[in-house]
Amino acid sequence: MSKVMALNISVSEDGYMAGPNQSEEAPLGENGELLHAWAFATESFQKWHDGSGGTVGIDNDYIERGFANIGATIMGRNMFGPIRGDWPDENWQGWWGPNPGFKHPVFVLTHHARQTIRMDNGTSFIFVTGGVELAYEWALKAAEGKDVRVGGGAQTIQEFMELGLLDELHVAQIPVKLNAGAKLFTNEKLQVDRYRAIDPVISGSVIHQTYLKR
């Protein structure tokens, strides 16, 4: 049976998943790239981007799991790109270039309709204007028994948790303070009531914390 999971979600010491003022020049917001240095360094992340080298060990194991057995991805519009409001044209096709590593359907939550983008390597971006629950239904069907990954951003993960649609959340806490931006947890009561934390795993300066739906 498919699971719906948000994996390798990097957060700052003060709980932010991205910095303020996201732009094409700063896709993760101001200083947001600092949250992901641990992931960028791993062998599995480099392979996903058609690179080579990288570190192995605990961090790499988490990244590897985040790419394994995923048949569909769901993400918010902010994760797909910095453009707000109506799409001015069809030129923007995401941050990942002509051959994104997904190689499966990616459902993008948006209030503004757009034609599906189909890449040559099997990746497709499908724009969903009907909300989280519709994207959830479409993604489960598209995954064909594999798991569904919720990539972010923070608001998208919050909505999945509030609706009880997220089976597992894995957070990597980084010893960096952003002081502003997109906070991951805004409803701690729901987190405590609906999800239970399993013992954290520490890898260098990164604290890996997994939450499972009760």
Q: pLDDT digit of tens for each residue in the chain (214 aa)?
A: 899 999 999 999 999 999 988 888 888 889 999 999 999 999 999 999 888 999 999 999 999 999 999 999 999 999 999 888 999 998 999 999 989 999 999 999 999 999 999 999 999 999 999 999 999 999 999 999 999 999 989 999 999 999 999 999 999 999 999 999 999 998 878 777 899 999 999 999 999 999 999 9
92: alpha, beta or left, given left = phi > 0 and alpha = psi -120 to 50? Answer: beta
- Measured between alpha carbons, how far is 185 from 124 in angstroms, rounded to an integer? 30
Concatenating the DSSP letter of every residue in 88-127 gives: --S----TT-SS-S--SEEEEE-SS--PPEE-TTS-EEEE
Considering the segment(s) 4-19+31-83+100-213 as one domain, its CATH architecture is 3-Layer(aba) Sandwich (3.40)
Tokens of 197: 């934390």
The β-bridge partners of 33 are none
Distance CA 12, CA 126 (A): 30
| Cβ(76)–Cβ(155) below 8 Å | yes
Place of tokens 């990164």: 206
Query: Which one-letter amino acid corresponds to residue 183?
Result: K
- 70 vs 5: CA distance, rounded Å: 10
Residue with tokens 């096709």: 93
Does this model's pTM top 0.85?
yes
Domain boundaries, the chain: 4-19+31-83+100-213
Please give the Cα distance from 129 to 77 (Å, whole number): 10
